[in-house]
């Protein structure tokens, strides 16, 4: 879920370097008005992405359900295609079944623009997915960029040529990129002609102009491009049999930039090509050092690549990016150095370590920071997981077991389940790593509503936990030698005669499953039995805290409300001391439910809003949907019929973003229906429906903002 925005959807900010393209922009805009699939084609570096982004921003207001952007360049295979597109349209799909089913359902009744950028390496699977989505969603329009058409029936193709080399737009782009007002006649104009108006080539030249001056750049390009084609540049291997001349010019320009780079910069360029997503200096250092490129020399080499426009300058949080065309070139050189496998292994090891640190920091003051770190590095974590599934399944199980719970909290249930199931199938590791992965898979299945498979996984998790904590010698088990996940203190094993964190988490999973299937007594018994036998308090580990949370919900379900509220308040105070966010948010939900059951809707509303603030920080759309339901129920119980209808309509919008119908704890569902019927009768069915539908079809972020306003703050 994204922060509040003025329009529905999500498009990246436009690049300030957009120049010209008025005719092309009008063509794309006109095509979008007439066709449901428009594909902008052209060679790499010609500006397809920038044109599509400008056209999408221009057309966004025509689509009531928004314009949404998907960068497919981060994928190296089709397996995660549907998951990435679903995530890009804020579909936190919690439903089981075929991968595209939830996405089709999410888009079926919407009128929106979906932009698929960089489709060329996934042209066939993209074509299949687009055809399926267009058939399922009559109001959907797709704008794609690709080096070749997708080949879907009804596709309108717009071929994008470079800027006219001798025209004003090419010179304007060069001026803007170089930061210098060149005259039309002279070296700058010659550079535009020699580079045939290709935007990316002009940007690379502009970077060298800043370093050397326009005359030197013109002369260097002249010596390179005037040479025989075979001597211009050692062209990359490519599947196409014949290179377009303009593509050769671009690749010659990239090769020229490569030659002008220092040896260390060229080495770093090659090694950075293993990153599929944004990277920071720390990650680049961990993955790319070796030989002459060490911690002292790497920052200077990275700065050199930024100055040469090979690497994009850091964003507000210090992350760099490489354009796909430039990264592809670096990957070819990495292959030629013979380092491709070694660097990929270092990349996988680095992100496995990052995943472990994230799990270690889950219980404490840095939880939110690491949760966001896992989200920011999601693409490279998936890349690392795919690598380890091929080369080291035991390490893959360790990585995905470390991050799967965070993925599930973020709504990436399909990816969490897919990675866990693959790793559990391929890995033969026993002990802590397997027990943790089974626990994470069980939670994922419960959130998907697959209670039968979740029961089987819960039982396997309990057996594996017993094996790890009682049957294995101390210190044995996969990952034990390196302290995978960081649980090396009293909570990790807790002694051979008492349950440790693995058994506690297995109990928490069993309790969660019991709660969601309407069996609070079973939930209370299973977690109570393990907590009574374990040493330590709820602050000692995340597993203990989760068990205490399940017990609080079980007490609520059993009607022991005063006891549940007292324990919840104590746990919440503890979470505030720890600066722990996830459990605190869940406790606010429980306190809201308790307030409703005790007949105190004002208190319930306050706790519901606190829960919503927490789930918004975590980007958890399922949590937002649950929180809106309990807030709508509290408002209805307080007799605020119009506000209840507004919040309930917003809640329905968020439920649809999860790909499933409304659900929640059985007790809340009954209360929601009861009080909703009451306020519908008080304000009238037509009035209630009008407010509900207006909230449902409006901007979900705006509806959430309205819901979070307390008494006296609403419009």
Q: What average pLDDT does the segment 246-258 reach? A: 76
Q: What pLDDT sits at residue 1?
A: 37
Taking only the tens place, the pLDDT of each residue in 120-129 is: 888 899 999 9
Q: Which residue has the tokens 């939880």?
A: 367
Per-residue model confidence (pLDDT) at position 247: 61
pLDDT tens, residue by residue, 321-348:
988 888 888 998 999 999 999 999 999 9
Q: Are residues 434 and 464 in contact, defined by beta-carbon separation less than 8 angstroms? A: yes
* Continuous segment of H or E residues that includes residue 587: helix 582-597
By the 10 Å C-beta count (0-12 exposed, 13-18 middle, 19+ buried), 496 is classed as exposed
Q: Is the pLDDT of residue 450 over 60?
A: yes
Reported as a single tens digit per residue, the pLDDT across 411-434 is 888 889 999 999 999 999 999 999
Q: What is the mean pLDDT of residues 247-262?
A: 81
Angstrom distance (rounded) from CA 161 to CA 613? 48
- Lowest mean pLDDT, pick from 185-199, 275-289, 476-490, 495-509: 476-490
Q: Is 567's pLDDT higher than 70?
A: yes
Output the pLDDT for position 239: 37
> Would you place residue 47 in the very low, low, confident or very high pLDDT band (cuts 50, 70, 90)?
confident
Flag whether pLDDT at 289 surpasses 50: yes
The most confident of 216-230, 263-277, 688-702, by mean pLDDT: 263-277
- Convert the pLDDT of each residue in 159-172 to its tens digit: 888 888 888 888 88
87: Cα separation from own chain's centroid = 6
* Strands 9-10, 37-41: pairing kind: unpaired
For the chain, how many helices (H) and strands (E)?
Answer: 34, 6
pLDDT (0 to 100) of residue 280:
93
Q: Is the pLDDT of residue 527 over 90?
A: yes
Cβ–Cβ < 8 Å for 115, 52: yes
Buried b (16+ CB within 10 A) or exposed e, 623-641: bbbbbbbbbbbbbbbbebb
pLDDT of residue 449: 85
- Model confidence, pTM: 0.82
Sheet containing 156-159: which strands, arranged edge to edge? 9-10, 67-71, 112-117, 140-146, 37-41, 156-159
* For the chain, percent of residues with pLDDT exceeding 70: 88
Q: Band of the pLDDT at 224, cuts 50, 70, 90?
A: low
Interhelix angle 81-88/99-107, rounded to 10 degrees, is 30
475 CB burial (10 A radius; 0-12, 13-18, 19+): exposed
Measuring CA to CA, which residue among 81, 74, 72 is closest to residue 120?
A: 72
| Residue 334 vs residues 258, 337, 341, 364: alpha-carbon distances, Å | 13, 5, 9, 40
Distance separating alpha carbons of residues 545 and 583, to the nearest angstrom: 8
Comparing C-alpha atoms, which of 520, 464, 484 is closest to residue 396?
A: 484
Give residue 661's pLDDT. 60
Higher pLDDT pick, 661 / 309: 309
Does residue 487 have a pLDDT over 90? no
Provide the β-strand partners of residue 159.
41
Above pLDDT 90, what percent of the chain? Answer: 48
Q: What is the pLDDT of residue 3?
A: 38
Mean pLDDT of the chain: 85
Q: What is the DSSP letter of 12?
A: P
């Amino acid at each position: 879920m994204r922060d509040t925005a003025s329009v529905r959807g999500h498009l990246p900010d436009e690049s300030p370097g957009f120049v010209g393209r008025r005719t092309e922009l009008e063509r794309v805009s006109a095509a979008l008005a007439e066709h449901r699939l428009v594909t902008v084609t052209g060679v790499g570096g010609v500006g397809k992405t920038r044109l599509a982004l400008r056209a999408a921003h221009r057309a966004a207001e025509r689509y009531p359900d928004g314009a949404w952007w998907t960068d497919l360049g981060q994928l190296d295979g089709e397996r995660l295609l549907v998951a990435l597109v679903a995530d890009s349209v804020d579909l936190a799909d919690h439903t089981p079944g075929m991968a595209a089913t939830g996405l089709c359902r999410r888009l079926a009744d919407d009128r929106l623009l979906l932009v698929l950028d960089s489709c060329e390496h996934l042209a066939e699977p993209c074509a299949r997915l687009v055809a399926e989505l267009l058939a399922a969603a009559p109001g959907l329009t797709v704008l794609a960029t690709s080096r070749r058409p997708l080949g879907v029936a009804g596709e309108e193709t717009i071929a994008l040529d470079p800027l006219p080399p001798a025209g004003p737009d090419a010179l304007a782009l060069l001026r803007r990129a170089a930061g210098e007002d060149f005259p039309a006649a002279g070296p700058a104009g010659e550079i535009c002609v020699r580079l045939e108006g290709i935007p990316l080539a002009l940007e690379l030249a502009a970077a060298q102009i800043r370093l050397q001056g326009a005359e030197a750049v013109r002369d260097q390009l002249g010596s390179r491009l005037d040479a025989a084609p075979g001597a211009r540049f050692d062209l990359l291997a490519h599947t196409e049999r014949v290179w377009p001349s303009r593509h050769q010019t671009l690749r010659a320009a990239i090769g020229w930039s490569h030659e002008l780079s220092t040896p260390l910069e060229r080495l770093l360029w090659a090694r950075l090509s293993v990153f599929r997503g944004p990277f920071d200096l720390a990650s680049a250092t961990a993955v790319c050092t070796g030989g002459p490129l060490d911690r002292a020399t790497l920052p200077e080499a990275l700065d050199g690549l930024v100055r040469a426009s090979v690497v994009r300058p850091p964003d507000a949080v210090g992350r760099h990016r490489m354009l796909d065309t430039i990264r592809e070139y670096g990957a070819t050189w990495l292959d030629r150095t013979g380092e491709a496998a070694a660097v990929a292994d270092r990349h996988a090891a680095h992100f496995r370590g990052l995943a472990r640190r994230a799990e270690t920091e889950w219980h404490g003051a840095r939880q939110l920071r690491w949760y966001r770190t896992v989200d920011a590095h999601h693409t490279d974590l998936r890349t690392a997981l795919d690598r380890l599934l091929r080369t080291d399944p035991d390490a893959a199980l360790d990585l995905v077991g470390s991050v799967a719970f965070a993925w599930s909290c973020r709504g990436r249930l399909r990816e969490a389940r897919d990675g866990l199931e693959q790793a559990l199938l391929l890995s033969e590791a026993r002990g802590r790593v397997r027990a943790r992965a089974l626990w994470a898979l069980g939670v994922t299945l419960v959130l998907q509503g697959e209670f039968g498979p979740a029961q089987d996984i819960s039982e396997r998790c309990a057996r594996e936990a017993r094996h790890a904590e009682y049957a294995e010698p101390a210190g044995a088990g996969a990952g034990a030698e390196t302290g995978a996940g960081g649980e090396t203190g009293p909570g990790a094993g807790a002694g051979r005669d008492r349950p440790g964190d693995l058994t506690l988490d297995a109990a928490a999973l069993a309790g969660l499953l019991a709660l969601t299937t309407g069996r609070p007594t079973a939930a209370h018994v299973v977690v109570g039995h393990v907590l009574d036998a374990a040493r330590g308090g709820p602050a000692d580990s995340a597993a203990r805290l989760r068990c205490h949370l399940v017990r609080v919900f079980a007490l609520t379900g059993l009607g022991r409300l005063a006891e549940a509220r007292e324990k919840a308040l104590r746990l919440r105070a503890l979470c505030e001391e720890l600066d722990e966010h996830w459990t605190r948010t869940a406790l606010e939900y429980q306190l809201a439910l308790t307030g409703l059951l005790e007949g105190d809707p004002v208190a319930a509303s306050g706790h519901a809003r606190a829960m919503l603030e927490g789930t918004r920080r975590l980007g958890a759309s399922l949590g937002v949907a649950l929180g809106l339901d309990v807030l709508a129920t509290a408002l209805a119980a307080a007799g605020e019929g119009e506000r209840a209808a507004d919040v309930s309509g917003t809640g329905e919008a968020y439920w649809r973003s999860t790909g499933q119908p409304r659900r929640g704890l059985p007790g809340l569902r009954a209360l929601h229906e009861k009080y909703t019927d009451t306020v519908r009768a008080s304000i009238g069915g037509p009035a209630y429906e009008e407010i509900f539908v207006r909230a449902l079809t409006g901007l979900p972020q705006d509806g959430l903002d309205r819901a979070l306003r307390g008494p006296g703050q609403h419009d």
